[in-house]
Chain A
Amino acid sequence: MGTVIRCEHLTKRFGRTTAVDDLTFDVHPGRVTGFLGPNGAGKSTTIRAVLGLDTPDAGRALVGGVAYRDLQQPLRHIGALLDAGAVHRGHTARAHLSALAAAAHIRRDRIDQVLALVGLTDVATRRTGTLSLGMKQRLGIATALLGDPPLLILDEPVNGLDPEGIRWIRTLMRTLAAEGRTVLVSSHLMSEMALTADHLLVIGRGRLLADVAMADFVPPGTSLEDAYLDLTATAVDYRTQPSQGTRP
């Protein structure tokens, strides 16, 4: 069982929008790979295709050499945090994890372990509809870690986390990569990425703009933010207007 995430000429369209356009890359183990790109660039779509949730229109995505849908007990191979809270409001945090553990034949004591790991032990029996944004995010991280997988894909994991949580997830990702696992993480927070990622994949309008080591992407004396904004300057779809102030 390999630990490489591979996309080969991956293409996904929604009606007339081409969300992912002939994307080819490998994500390697032992390092944190940052997945960057402007809003609507196709990061979440790529991730959903890797996870077998979206069927590509062309090309393919492989997890350890196999299509996700052909994995036996996929949760033990790859853990995922999706960009929006995808839990049933009516389920308790524990029920949510129990349902997934049951599907993957994961031992029940692992549920308490991951709840403790993300700091949710005290709210385990609360319905997820009553959890705060950061608590839901922690539940999502607990879900990703449930099967103790060698591969992890995290779509905007720091969303809603408090400073303690942000430091914790950063340390967690670095530790997981140091253990030889494959970690792919998308984020818009450049300062956070600069601290976390060893390698970068940058996409814009569904196409690959860069597949580069962090050290080569950010020349000494500049910031990741500068390098990123330079690279993506021509690939931004949803650009804001310069601030005009409120008075003429």
Chain B
Amino acid sequence: MPTALSGAVASEIVKLRSLRSTWLTAAFAMAFGLALSIADVSHIASSWPRMAAADRAQFDPVGDSLSGFSFAVLAFGVLGVLAVSSEYTTGLIRFTLLATPRRGVAYTAKTLVVGSFALLLGQLAAFGSFFIGQAFLAKQHLQVSLTDPGVFRAVFCAGLYLFAVTMVGYGLGAVLRHTAGAIASLFALVYLGYGAAKAVEGWSYLPSKLMLSNAADTLAQIQPHPPRPERVPSLTFALLDLALYLTLAGVLGAWRFTRDA
């Protein structure tokens, strides 16, 4: 049935699909994450025979096969930023709102389309990197299987984390309506936030537990070995972290999006 929402969703798909920047950013994020992860696991596999016991204890067959995405995640965030900020910087938003004047409908459609794409891309990155990584680790019989305890959860949660950061970028883009500002805020949130939370650990570990990158350590590994275990949230806490960030990004983005462009 043709409705305002179905039309708006179709429109958002056309817009996202026809932008070269969408595919370039996505390809860059994937290539960068995969390359670093492969470098990591191939190094582990080749040096395993001479590796010290302490280093071997740090090995995580899942986490290490996804390690590159702890950096590439920022490219995912940039993808989310661009999906909305570029509409404001180019003025296209005015046509979006002419076609779908009810802001709530326009925002819902955009969020659904960008969110689905981000979820798909995040899971593709996580599972792709996992399988490629295991192929490298198999040379030393270090590989694990998706059916081993905790493995599927870790890979799936790694994909969720990439999705969440993409949507945090999206929310920042919607709130700030400015590409450079939103990217800078995203970096600040992910990196400076981590440092700031670390600095106040003398008083409380709560800020650290709320940091996305610390949540990712719990989510995407099967046996986390952080230097400071107090810093890392439990699995449930980490999932709540993602939910919190997703909700904040969605709600703040909606609030700002429904204001005049």
Chain A contacts to B: CB under 8 angstroms: 51-55, 68-69, 71-75, 80, 82, 84-92, 95-96, 98-100, 102-105, 127, 143
CB-defined contacts of A55 to chain B, threshold 8 Å = 260
B95 interfacial contact with A, CB 8 Å: yes
The verdict on A91 contacting B19 (CB below 8 Å), with A102-B10, A104-B7 known, is yes
Q: Are B99 and A104 in contact (CB under 8 A)?
A: yes
Q: How far is the CA of A90 from the CA of B82 in the complex (A)?
A: 12
The verdict on A71 contacting B7 (CB below 8 Å), with A90-B21, A91-B18, A91-B19 known, is no
Measured CB to CB, the nearest residue on chain B to A92 is B18
**Number of chain B residues close to chain A: CB under 8 A:** 31
The verdict on A103 contacting B100 (CB below 8 Å), with A53-B94, A90-B21, A98-B14 known, is yes
Q: Are B98 and A80 in contact (CB under 8 A)?
A: yes
B170 to nearest A CB, angstroms? 17
CB-defined contacts of A91 to chain B, threshold 8 Å = 15, 18-19, 92
Q: How far is the CA of A73 from the CA of B8 in the complex (A)?
A: 11
A98 to nearest B CB, angstroms? 5
Q: Are A88 and B87 in contact (CB under 8 A)?
A: yes
Q: How far is the CA of A73 from the CA of B7 in the complex (A)?
A: 9
**Does more than half of chain B's interface fall in helix, strand or loop, or is it mixed?**
helix
CB-defined contacts of B19 to chain A, threshold 8 Å = 88, 90-91
Render B2-39 as a binary contact track against A, CB cut-off 8 A, 1 for contact: 10100110111111001111000000000000000000
Q: How far is the CA of A98 from the CA of B20 in the complex (A)?
A: 16
B260 to nearest A CB, angstroms? 6
CB-defined contacts of B100 to chain A, threshold 8 Å = 103
Find the residue from B12, B86, B87, B90 having the highest chain A CB count within 10 A: B90
Q: Are B92 and A88 in contact (CB under 8 A)?
A: yes
Q: How far is the CA of A85 from the CA of B92 in the complex (A)?
A: 9
B97 interfacial contact with A, CB 8 Å: yes
Q: Are B15 and A99 in contact (CB under 8 A)?
A: yes
Partner of A69, one of B10, B86, B94, B102: B102
Partner of A105, one of B2, B12, B87, B261: B2
Q: Which of B155-203 contact A (CB under 8 A)?
A: none
